[in-house]
């Protein structure tokens, strides 16, 4: 079983913000699979489904970004999912808008949601799909990541979400290298 997590903040006021890129991507994946992420457990909204005959849980932690790890660790433990079967999708200000980068492990970097996950699970050996939101924040990072996407940016994000979905398939099939070579 795999746990695929999209990071974001709960609430209507955050729906279209850059910091909710992970939520937007995970909702896209659910929609592609004909699913809705609408069950509640362990401070998160989730659904169980299958991708490529592999059982997966799609998760949107509802703890707010900075405490995402509190929800993720509970899912990993309850469903007995190894950290190597965790995939986290999130925004990254150090990547240009319209680009994505896949990593198979590494540090949390400066992303508070990732810091929370790494601290909670005590591991860094899991896949990450980073979606670029640009670094146009002019020294006010909080306001920038909590600002809404423009319609054009959101349209471009939905195109990237197809690549995110395809990357998830590669990763679940054990070929993260191919995903990295294709999309990085």
Q: Which residues are catalytic?
A: 19
Which residue is associated with the tokens 């939905």?
Answer: 158
Phi, psi torsion values for 176, nearest 5 degrees: -60, -30
Closest CA to 39 of 54, 59, 12, 9: 59
Place of tokens 């054009």: 152
| Chain length of the chain | 184
Q: What is the β-pairing status of strands 2-6 and 86-92? A: parallel
**Contact by Cβ (8 Å): 86, 126:** yes
Phi, psi of 127 (to 5 degrees): -75, 145
Q: Which two tokens stand for residue 23?
A: 């939520």
């Amino acid at each position: 079983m795999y746990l695929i997590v999209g990071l974001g903040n709960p609430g209507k006021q955050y729906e279209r913000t850059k910091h909710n890129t992970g939520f937007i991507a995970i909702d896209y994946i659910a929609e592609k699979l004909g699913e809705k992420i609408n069950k509640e457990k362990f401070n998160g909204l989730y659904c169980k489904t299958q991708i490529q005959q592999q059982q997966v849980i799609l998760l949107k932690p509802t703890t707010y970004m900075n405490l995402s790890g509190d929800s993720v660790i509970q899912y990993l433990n309850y469903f007995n999912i190894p950290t190597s079967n965790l995939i986290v999708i999130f925004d990254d200000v150090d990547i240009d808008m319209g680009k994505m980068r896949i990593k198979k492990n590494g540090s949390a970097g400066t992303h508070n949601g990732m810091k929370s996950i790494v601290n909670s699970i005590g591991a860094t050996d899991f896949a990450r799909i980073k979606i670029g939101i640009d670094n146009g924040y002019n020294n006010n990072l909080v306001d920038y990541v909590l600002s809404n996407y423009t319609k054009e940016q959101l349209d471009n994000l939905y195109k990237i979400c197809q690549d995110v979905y395809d990357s998830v398939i590669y990763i679940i099939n054990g070929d993260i290298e191919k995903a990295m070579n294709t999309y990085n």
